[in-house]
Amino acid sequence: MCLVTKTGEVMSEKDVFGLRLNTIEKNYLYEIAQIYGLKKRGSDELSVSKAMRYMLTYCMDNKLKFDNKEQSEIGGVRKLIEEIHASIPHILFQIATQNACTSTSLTDEQYSQAKDNALSYINETVAGFQTNSYKYVKAKINRVGIKTIPLESGVSLWK
């Protein structure tokens, strides 16, 4: 692929591009230059142009597309994680409680004890699941002490 100037001339590898950057963009490029040690030749000064070249190379090497398709896939994964986190502890709680309740007819006190035993069982077997946290998934503790996804509009993707 050849780049062509406004006058119709083919650009060479030594041609220079002009670009206006705002403060946020410059700071971002300086961060990249600092992280990857991109400095001007023969100097300790960070190089914004090397940071831009590094980013461009990264985009080309990874064949990045800029059509938001990846963002929608990330949203789908986030929604799935929310559904899993909202469902599994409750399913386990209901199964453990149902097993205890269907084996005999229980008094209210016995039912309460079965519920407590079910919660203890869940905490012993999948407590690690309850401690998982993610950058994009919010959680809260419900009335029986199980972590769940908030159902308020705008907080989760699946409500």
Q: Over 60: is that where the pLDDT of 159 sits?
A: no
82 and 38 fall within a common domain: no
Q: Are both 77 and 52 inside the same structural domain?
A: no
Tell the burial category of 151 from Cβ atoms under 10 Å away from its Cβ (0-12, 13-18, 19+): exposed
The answer as to whether 142 is a domain residue is: yes
Summarize pLDDT for 50-94 with one digit per residue, the tens.
999 899 888 888 877 776 565 566 677 777 777 777 777 778 888
User: Are 33 and 102 members of one domain?
Assistant: no
Q: For the beta carbon of residue 120, count every other beta carbon within 10 angstroms.
A: 11
Residue 45 in any domain: the answer is yes
Per-residue tokens: 86: 């909202």
What is the number of structural domains in the chain? Answer: 2
Q: Residue 47 in contact with residue 40, Cβ under 8 Å?
A: yes
Please tell me the distance from the alpha carbon of residue 141 to that of residue 139, in angstroms, as a whole number.
7
> Do 22 and 48 fall within a single domain?
yes
Report the predicted TM-score, pTM, of the whole model to 2 decimal places: 0.39
* Containing structural domain, residue 109: 69-148
**Statement to judge: residues 54 and 82 lie in one domain:** no
